[in-house]
Amino acid sequence: MVTIKDVAREAGVSVATVSRALNDNGYVGVDTRKKVMAAIEKLNYSPNEVARSLYKRKSRLIGLLLPDITNPFFPQLARGVEDELSRAGFRLLLGNSDENVEKEMEYIQTFVQNNVTGIISATNHLDDQIYNELKLPLVLLDRISEDYPAVYSDGREGGRLAARTLIEKGAKRITLMKGPAHVRPAQDRFQGAIEELSHADIDFSVLSTTSYSFEEALGWAKELFEQFPDTDGVIASNDIVGIAIIHEALKIGKQIPEDVQIIGYDDIPQSGLSYPTLSTIRQPAYDMGRQAAQLLIKLIKKEQHIECKIQMPVELVERNTTRKK
């Protein structure tokens, strides 16, 4: 088996230099790096990551904790994280918490036991002791906190934009769907929408929901039209629910957008395929994932001048569930 010593000998440098070059840690001149890389290639050297991890107490593994990748917003985030980490030579340990605190703590613990170098987490349980005691770089994704670096989108503006759009397009009896209470971004966008609706001269109602799941989406949609049969504008809690509302509206014979306008949230890939296609507020999910990965890598490398809160912009995507003019 080829060892780091063989590489050093082939490149005509010290073992420490090869190690620095491999680990991107400390200065290595351009020419030296080239020599080392040529030797690695020639000898087909493949460093054992576990041995390296034990030696350095660091690995090239990153833990990523998400609520549930079967919700189509999260695979986009995950791909952004993965693609960016991959470019920097890191690999992803993935866990889905199902927003269950025990499951989440178990994952964080095993991430630590596997010597991950850093963690990216979309958690609702930051107050838990395990986060306080974490001795690793941590980046929050799709979540906000005073105390930790975080990448999120501007939920309040997103909520405002959704409400403003329906108001401008002539909706007079708007129903605002409130997302699950324990999900912080859902509350931000709710607050943004309330703010805008409160200042407008229109009627509006609030329908509280407790999940984003596919299974329950049609149930919320039914409840919406039962409770507010005259609503002419719906701010859906997310795109899944928005697509379910399209389904229900058509089923009970409403014209979209003539009788009822609908605006979603997220811009998941499916939203361009519904009929009519769903107008929505776009969160740049893939880019949020990439930014979180970049931020974490900077924290791991202890780079100075790190921007620790990255708020990404949201935008209106006008499709066919809102009126044209």
Residues that bind a copy of itself (CB under 8 A): 46-51, 53-54, 59-61, 68-70, 72, 74-76, 78-79, 82, 91-96, 107, 109-111, 113-115, 214-215, 217-218, 240, 243-244, 246-247, 250-251, 269-270, 272-275, 277
Residues whose CB is less than 8 angstroms from the CB of residue 302 and which lie 6 or more positions away in sequence, other chains included: none
> Which residue, 82 or 157, has its beta carbon nearer to a copy of itself?
82
> CA distances (Å), 161 to each of 81, 105, 194, 264, in order?
27, 36, 11, 11
| CA 38 – CA 8 distance, rounded (Å) | 11
Q: DSSP secondary-structure letter at 272?
A: G
Of 39 and 78, CB closest to a copy of itself: 78
Least Cβ distance, residue 77 to a copy of itself (angstroms): 10
The CB-of-101 to a copy of itself minimum distance in angstroms stands at: 15
The distance of closest approach from Cβ of residue 113 to a copy of itself in the complex, given in angstroms and rounded to an integer, is 4
Q: How far is the CB of 277 from a copy of itself (least distance, A)?
A: 7
Q: Measuring CA to CA, which residue among 89, 45, 97 is closest to residue 71? A: 97
Kindly tell me which of 33 and 247 has the beta carbon lying closer to a copy of itself: 247
Q: Give 102 or 146: the residue with its C-beta nearer to a copy of itself.
A: 102
Q: What is the sign, positive or negative, of the torsion defined by CA atoms of 73, 74, 78, 84?
A: positive
Q: Rounded to an integer, what distance in angstroms lies between the CA atom of residue 144 and that of residue 6?
A: 48
- One-letter amino acid at 57 equals R
* Shortest reach from residue 325's CB to a copy of itself, in Å: 21
Q: Looking at beta carbons, which pairs linking 27-30 to residues 24 or more positions away fall under 8 Å?
A: none
Q: Decide: 42 and 34 in contact? Cβ < 8 Å.
A: no
Q: CA torsion angle for 266, 199, 311, 122 (degrees, to 10)?
A: -50
User: At 178, which helix (H) or strand (E)?
Assistant: strand 173-178
CB of 12 to a copy of itself, least distance (A): 25
Minimum CB separation from a copy of itself for residue 85, in Å?
A: 11
Q: 172 or 286, CB closer to a copy of itself?
A: 286
Place of tokens 């890939």: 269
Helix (H, G, I), strand (E, B) or coil at 115: coil
Closest CA to 248 of 238, 260, 237: 260
> What is the DSSP track for 245-263?
HHHHHHHTT--TTTT-EEE
Nearer of residues 76 and 121 to a copy of itself, judged by Cβ: 76
Shortest spacing between CB 193 and a copy of itself, in angstroms:
23
Q: Which is nearer to a copy of itself, 32 or 277 (CB)?
A: 277
Residue 160 or 319: the one with the smaller Cβ distance to a copy of itself is: 319
